Amino acid sequence: MIISGTELSARLKAEMAAQMPQLEKEYGRVPCLAVILVGENPASQSYVKGKIKACEVVGMTSLLITMDASVSEAELLAKIAELNAAPDVDGVLVQLPLPAGIDESKVIDAISVEKDVDGFHPSNVAKLWLNEPCILPCTPKGIMKMIEETGIQVKGKKAVVVGRSNIVGKPVAKLLLDANATVTIAHSRTEDLAAVCREADILVAAVGKEAVITADMIKPGAVVIDVGVNRGADGKLHGDVDFAGAVEVAGAITPVPGGVGPMTICMLMSNTIECFKKRMTVNG
């Protein structure tokens, strides 16, 4: 089974689009996502384009704010403060990475918790680990939807997450734990990574190295989620998993591209709607 993020996200976005007329009727407007892009990093430009396009598909409004790479931290923080205060903006996202000289954690901290559609704000991170209601980070949330899509019962299964970043590895491990999997987090210092991975009924690779996971590291029938996005020597995008070999062994596997990537953007739409509804309910 190939778990197509392209197909699943299209279905979920269509469901969100279908909600828009009702939201507009109830609250007088549709949700609005503001995206700040600093500089001209081609990958960031492409991600931002995808996010704005997704807003159009879902029928939400978006604001794209582009800032020169030479922008000062103070100017960026002032823009965030302005968007935090804007009544008609429901989500504020600053595309990472930021140019050298701008403190990313300061920028993330500056985004209002209520508008933190990426789920990166320390308050949202803390709430996730404290089992309190929060905005979930988009990639882990999308991964859980994809696992759900396979129909596998996560409870009691062995899950191995390769990678321990704050945006993917750690939060997805927490969500798997919440779903009652027995979770192992592997990383660059893990001894015998192959043996650790072979234990996994659910294997999530979030490393950022092409083909670091090969077929011999996969338990037959396992669900394999490939988060990696790596530009190969052939100029194409490749995951962290050697797909050609892995697809022969795995029970279900996500492709790259067309797997986790579109689901991440889809969950950003879902988070924006969530923030919108919460703000509308709280603010009347």
Taking Cα atoms as reference points, which of 182, 137, 141, 189 lies closest to residue 160?
Answer: 182
From 34-42, 70-78, 90-98, 167-175, span contacting ligand NDP (CB under 6 A): 167-175
Among 87, 189, 234, 283, binds ligand NDP (CB under 6 A): 189
**Cβ 75 to ligand NDP shortest distance, Å:** 26
Contact between 53 and ligand NDP per CB under 6 A:
no
Q: Which is nearer to ligand NDP, 19 or 165 (CB)?
A: 165
Q: How far apart are CA 88 and CA 27, in angstroms?
A: 11
Among 91, 119, 163, 255, binds ligand NDP (CB under 6 A): 163
Q: How far apart are CA 104 and CA 80, in angstroms?
A: 13
Residues labelled catalytic: 51, 95, 118
> Could you give the 3-state DSSP secondary structure of residue 144?
helix
Q: How far apart are CA 213 and CA 183, in angstroms?
A: 18
**Cβ 26 to ligand NDP shortest distance, Å:** 31
Contact between 209 and ligand NDP per CB under 6 A:
yes
Taking Cα atoms as reference points, which of 183, 63, 193, 192 lies closest to residue 117?
Answer: 63
Among 167, 172, 217, 250, binds ligand NDP (CB under 6 A): 167
Contact between 139 and ligand NDP per CB under 6 A:
yes
* Interface mask toward ligand NDP for 98-137; x: CB under 6 A: ----------------------------------------
**CA distance readout (Å), 48 to 37, 38, 42, 147, 189:** 7, 11, 10, 26, 33
Contact between 228 and ligand NDP per CB under 6 A:
yes
Q: Which is nearer to ligand NDP, 238 or 279 (CB)?
A: 238
Contact between 50 and ligand NDP per CB under 6 A:
no
Q: Which is nearer to ligand NDP, 29 or 209 (CB)?
A: 209
Scanning residues 235 to 264, which ones bind ligand NDP (CB under 6 A)? 260-261, 264
From 16-24, 114-122, 203-211, 243-251, span contacting ligand NDP (CB under 6 A): 203-211
Contact between 158 and ligand NDP per CB under 6 A:
no
Listing DSSP states for 241-282 in one string gives B-HHHHHHH-SEE--SSSSHHHHHHHHHHHHHHHHHHHHHHH
Sign for the pseudo-dihedral over CA of 279, 280, 282, 283? positive
Contact between 165 and ligand NDP per CB under 6 A:
yes
With residue 75 as reference, give the H or E element that holds it: helix 73-85
Listing DSSP states for 178-235 in one string gives HTT-EEEEE-TT-SSHHHHHHT-SEEEE---STT-B-GGGS-TT-EEEE---EE-TTS
Q: How far apart are CA 260 and CA 225, in angstroms?
A: 8
Interacting residues with ligand NDP (CB under 6 A)? 139, 162-165, 167-169, 186-190, 193, 206-209, 212, 227-230, 260-261, 264
